[in-house]
Amino acid sequence: MIEKYKEKISSFYKRKKRMPSYREMGTLLGFSSTNAVYKLVNKLQSEHFLKKDTSGKLIPMNIFGEIKVLGLVEAGFPSSAEEELADTMSLDEYLIENKEATFLLKVKGDSMIDAGIRDGDMVLAERGKEPKDRQIVIAEVDGQWTMKFFRKYNGKIFLEAANKKFKDIYPKEELNIAAVVRAVIRKY
């Protein structure tokens, strides 16, 4: 029976790249009480299958059997390439600060052409941010989204285009700034 439990735990680890929590382990192995899970964990710890860290969380030990353990030891000596890559980030991380608050829009027209933003470009904008002077924002004007520079000048707020053909927009009532532009992407 214990072999079957081990198999399930290691397949969980393979899939999720982490150890299950006590509760997840209960569901995984069909135990209804956490106490039963504790007992099993202690047993597995005595067999060096896993171990508890200082905060009680589980870390894998021999979960892939004896041979694979060598692999785990090897991981302690990363190749230099791996080490260098630790300080890099993905394009996603570079472009997006707060993923949950970031939305896509598509540019229509050329009101921001002098800022290098063209018709058809993809815009990444972040909601829930207080805009600062000269940031590019997505504002709601007459029931439509508009993208302009946010300007705060002598206490007056207005929107400014990056194209001489467009006049500044002074809001009549409250101006709803929905989001602050974080990036513009153009794929060729």
Residue corresponding to tokens 């290691």: 10
Q: Which of 69, 157, 175, 178 binds another protein (CB under 8 A)?
A: 178
DSSP state string for 171-188: -SS--EEEEEEEEEE---
C-alpha to C-alpha distance for 138 and 150, rounded to whole angstroms:
9
Task: Give me the count of residues in the chain.
Answer: 188
In the complex, least distance from residue 179 CB atom to another protein, rounded to whole angstroms: 8
Q: Residue 187 corresponds to which amino acid?
A: K
Applying CB under 8 A, does 183 fall inside the site for another protein?
A: no
Give the DSSP H or E segment for 43. Answer: helix 34-46
In the complex, least distance from residue 38 CB atom to another protein, rounded to whole angstroms: 16
Applying CB under 8 A, does 102 fall inside the site for another protein?
A: yes
Residue 67 or 104: the one with the smaller Cβ distance to another protein is 104
Active site residue 21: no
Applying CB under 8 A, does 120 fall inside the site for another protein?
A: yes
Instruction: Sketch the per residue contact string, 147 through 166, with another protein: x for CB under 8 A, - otherwise.
Output: x-------------------
Q: Which of 22, 51, 113, 127 binds another protein (CB under 8 A)?
A: 127
Helix, strand, or coil here: 113?
A: helix
**Catalytic residue, candidates 57, 106, 111, 129:** 111
C-alpha to C-alpha distance for 135 and 181, rounded to whole angstroms:
8
Q: Tokens in use for 188? A: 């060729």
> Is residue 63 within 8 Å of 6, Cβ to Cβ?
yes
Question: Which residues of this protein are in contact with another protein, per CB under 8 A?
Answer: 7-8, 11, 15, 21, 23-24, 27, 98-109, 111, 120, 122-125, 127-128, 138, 140, 143-147, 176, 178-179, 187-188
